[in-house]
Amino acid sequence: MPLDDSSSVRVVRIGKSNASQAQSIFFHAYRENTFLRYVLNAKRRGYEQRLRGFIREQLQAHYSGPNLSLAVAVQDQLVGAVMVSRADDPRYFIDSWRWRLRMYSVAGIYYTEQIRHYYQDLHQALRQIDHYWISLIALHPNHQQHGYGHALVEAVHNECERDSLFQGISVDTCDPRAKSFFESLGYQKVAQVPVKDFSMDILYHPRSGGESPFPPLQ
């Protein structure tokens, strides 16, 4: 999809100057997310506060490691954001005591451990492949259907292609619209991680010119 008014659109890195904009985009995009509503217990008072804390800690963890945080900006306003991690190096979300202790104060021990266990299952599903993982991706609701999502994913692919060991990119979702979007870009469902009474689909895209080592699932 071509970008609307592409002359004013650019891909930027997320840093201190625009982190609050990125957090706001993620918050509004993930507020009704089935997985986060479960692991952060949306039925209990204070869900939105826990969600904001979760997103803040994810960004902080990204800044502390060799990860990638990008955004699409129209002029000076962010309209989309993405966070990408090395999938073969899970310590920032699984083994980091700093992240765990801060998440304990945000979501409590039980739900933090639920998130950690999910990340462990996710890592195990594709553990034999050296690849990158899109942990969060979102567009502002007022800026969808303009090609910004495609531009964001393309920027991620371009950055990851610089890594000679990179074999592909994965993303996990339980949102049918997100799954359809990634499938339109050539991602295929290759695994599934059960979570309570729903499942997270894992989609994978090989590097340019490569082949997926996983058989597609229906």
One-letter amino acid of 11 = V
Predicted pLDDT at 42 = 93
CA 111 – CA 101 distance, rounded (Å) = 12
Mode of pairing for the β-strands spanning 132-139 and 168-173: parallel
% the chain with pLDDT above 70:
90
34-60 tens-digit pLDDT: 999 998 889 989 999 999 998 988 888
Predicted pLDDT at 189 = 93
CA 163 – CA 42 distance, rounded (Å) = 39
Say if pTM beats, i.e. exceeds, 0.75. Answer: yes
- pLDDT band with cut points at 50, 70 and 90 for residue 7: low
Predicted pLDDT at 170 = 92
132-184 tens-digit pLDDT: 899 899 998 777 777 888 989 999 999 888 888 788 999 999 999 999 999 99
